[in-house]
Amino acid sequence: MAKKFACSDVVSGCSWSTMAKDEADLFHKISEHAKHVHKMTTIPDEIIQKVKSQIQEI
């Protein structure tokens, strides 16, 4: 089952969202977005947990 994530569920005001075939691919896309758009060189565990709680199956 595919997965989707909307950044606005974690970062207020960010309209970016993505979909992927599995969680590993989804996290790759999310980490690239966080790095390039939000200038996060590392993603704190607290943010990872928030992201995981907002991933939806589609």
In the three-class reduction of DSSP (H, G, I as helix; E, B as strand; rest coil), residue 55 is classed as coil
pTM over 0.75: yes
Q: Which pLDDT does position 42 carry in this prediction?
A: 93
Q: Which pLDDT does position 18 carry in this prediction?
A: 98
Per-domain residue ranges of the chain: 3-57
Query: How confident is the model over 5-29, as a mean pLDDT?
Result: 97
Q: Which pLDDT does position 17 carry in this prediction?
A: 98
Average pLDDT of the chain to the nearest whole number = 96
Q: What is the pLDDT of residues 37-57, one digit of tens each?
A: 999 999 999 999 999 999 999
